[in-house]
Chains A and B, each alone.
Chain A
Amino acid sequence: MRTPYMALLALSGVAAAFLVHLGVHTIDIVVSVYTLIYWATAPFARPLPKPVGNIHTAIGLVLLAAFSYFAALRIAALLRP
């Protein structure tokens, strides 16, 4: 398996262990951290041939959408009177 995928797995494992150590129980923080790791390793995984490149982008966009949703909920909670 290629190094960027192994880096993605290793970094996610380290992040998961650290979040368990901190006692984080909310999904939004976990998904946001994973989204950051995913896009940080993305440039190293590319170039990818077309169908696989599209899958890679699609996964990243879904993660970004989830991150945006959770961020919007947090901002709405702050702005709510």
Chain B
Amino acid sequence: MQSDIGPSLIVLGAAVSALGLLQLNLAPLLALGLAAVSAGLLATWEPAAREKVLAKLCEAGWENTSALLQAVGAPPKAYYIPSSASGRPVAVVAGERPEVVPRDALIFKTKAGPAVVLATPGTKALELCGELPGDLAEALRSCVVNTLGLARSVSVAERPDGAVVEYGGVAAPNLYGKFLAKSALGSVLASITAAVAAELWRRPVEIADERAEGRRLIVMVR
């Protein structure tokens, strides 16, 4: 709705301006038409421009996270842990699926080497979305589509070992650039999908694959 206001104002303003120019006794309407067009132009581009600036500024955090992962020597593979296991929804970047995650730990050791506990876009999305329905498709529709507005539609095909989630009309920002954090945590939507799935299934979840096709995104979690 918010993104439709700008284009609507431009169309309305153009129509009112044309009326003001063509109908001589209504020439003052040109002022209103020009105001609608200029307000529409600014309202169309301003949110996207601000979002771009904020995403760029936040890249510093992901650059540091990527450096930390490299320094620790953890492989770029994240396991999303539900809040029931770790106190809050987090991702653990480790060489193998962690059996136990120590509460409030930032880094801990596993048999396969060091593991790093990270808050992810999925963590923050769960904070924003609050209580979720028990079904994965319903939960993702409620959170990703209705609350966050990051995709226009979502469909879920559940499998014995996980689920294939397909998003349509994706409008999620790229938070990580090309940093290592992206290959570890997955894209923003994949991260949210995995975090929501982990919360609902109450077990660690990993992103098996993700594939973007235009404005469609397919995420496989297991």
Contact = CB atoms under 8 A, between A and B. Distances in A.
Contact of A52 (B35, B39, B45): B45
A31 B21 CA distance: 11
A52 B46 CA distance: 6
B90 to A, nearest CB: 33
A51 to B, nearest CB: 5
Given A5-B43, A49-B52, A52-B49, A12 B27 contact: no
B27 A30 contact: yes
Place the interface of chain A in its size category. 35 or more
A67 B59 CA distance: 44
A53 B87 CA distance: 45
A12 B45 contact: no
Contacts of A34: 30-31, 34-35
Contacts of B39: 1, 5-6, 8-9
A30 B26 contact: no
B49 A50 contact: yes
Interface in B36-67: 36, 38-39, 41-43, 45-46, 49-50, 52-53
B27 A27 contact: yes
Contacts of A63: 34
A12 B49 contact: no
A30 B16 CA distance: 14
Interface in A22-81: 24-27, 30-31, 33-34, 37-38, 45, 48-52, 55-56, 59, 63
Contacts, number: 89
A3 B121 CA distance: 31
Nearest to B52: A49
Contacts of B50: 49
B116 to A, nearest CB: 34
Secondary structure of the A side of the interface? helix
B126 interface: no
Contacts of A52: 42, 45-46, 49
Contacts of A2: 43, 46
B149 interface: no
A57 to B, nearest CB: 11
B5 interface: yes
A25 B25 contact: yes
Contacts of A50: 49
Contacts of B26: 20
Interface of B: 5, 20-21, 24-32, 34-36, 38-39, 41-43, 45-46, 49-50, 52-53
12 contacts: A8-B35, A9-B36, A16-B28, A16-B31, A20-B26, A25-B27, A31-B34, A48-B46, A49-B52, A50-B49, A52-B49, A55-B42
